[in-house]
Amino acid sequence: MNIQIFANKEEASQQAFILIKEALDQNKLNFGMMTGESPKLFYQMLRESDLDFTQANSINLDEFYGLGEEDEHSYHYYMEKHLFKFKQFNQTFIPNGKNYNLIDEIDRYEQILADYPRDIQMLGIGVNGHIGFNEPGESFNSTTHLTRLAETTIGTYQNYFKGLERPPEYAYSMGIKSIMDADQIILLAFGAHKAKAVRDMIEGPVTRKVPASILQNHPNTVILLDREASRLLNS
Ligand code: F6R
């Protein structure tokens, strides 16, 4: 793991931006994208830049089950708002939360992952160590699946879900194996509330209890942290 600690999230996001710019310069075109708080500055930097994504493809990690693109709580909506409205991509893919036929949706997404092998997979980390919505206990061999959100996750997403009559209990998510298949992984974690998960991911044993700990076994993972998120690290 290549661990880089920055004074603040602006500098860490800037580094993520540089890595994506270098990838584009090298003609890498398939980017696994994520959502949430962590990439907001990074997306701002992308959309305010002159980077050209018209030949690139974006393949998102996950989507809430039951939420369609018109719903402002969906990750479709999030990606439009933060990136796609401003930057044209060749193709963009996100699991379809409105497809209630699980086999059909999972097969569709697995085919997309096979057709567009990711050069880079962007990741955040949950306070419980989840990556994508692979919650503690998830098999390291998992591929795209419907996952039940952990209580902790529903708790931390409370603000995000505000306004929904019933917060989603499930999400479609790339599996851990799907994530590990990417050539390079770039994980962003900011803030003191992430410090324990970050320590467990980097310095703890590789265990299903901390899904992100599997990244220790990935040959090309870059972890970009602000100072608070790194504060429990020993070295
Ligand atoms: C988002 C995702 C999640 C988040 C994680 C951290 O697509 O898959 O794993 O990356 O929950 O979320 P934030 O950045 O909001 O703290």
Q: Which atom of ligand 1 is nearest to the CA of 124?
A: 10
Q: Above 80 in pLDDT, residue 82? A: yes
Note if 63 is an active site residue: no
The residue type of 123 is L
Does the beta carbon of 34 sit less than 6 angstroms from any atom of ligand 1? Answer: yes
What is the pTM assigned to this prediction? Answer: 0.97
Over residues 151-209, the pLDDT tens digits come to 999 999 989 999 898 899 999 999 999 999 999 999 999 999 999 999 999 999 999 99
C-beta 37 within 6 A of ligand 1? yes
**Beta-ladder partners of 122:** 186
Q: Is 181 a catalytic residue?
A: no
Q: Cβ(35) to ligand 1 under 6 A?
A: yes
- Which atom of ligand 1 lies at the shortest distance from residue 60's CA? 7
Angle among Cα 154, 230, 119 to the nearest 5 degrees reads 75
Burial class (CB in 10 A: 0-12, 13-18, 19+), 159: exposed
Distance from the alpha carbon of residue 134 to the mean position of ligand 1, in angstroms? 11
Mean pLDDT to the nearest integer, 10-15:
98
Confidence at residue 165, expressed as pLDDT on a 0 to 100 scale? 86
Check if the beta carbon of residue 3 is closer than 8 Å to that of residue 125. Answer: no
| Section 127-149 average pLDDT | 98
Query: Is position 130 annotated as part of the catalytic site?
Result: yes
Exposed, middle or buried, 141 (CB in 10 Å: 0-12/13-18/19+)? Answer: exposed
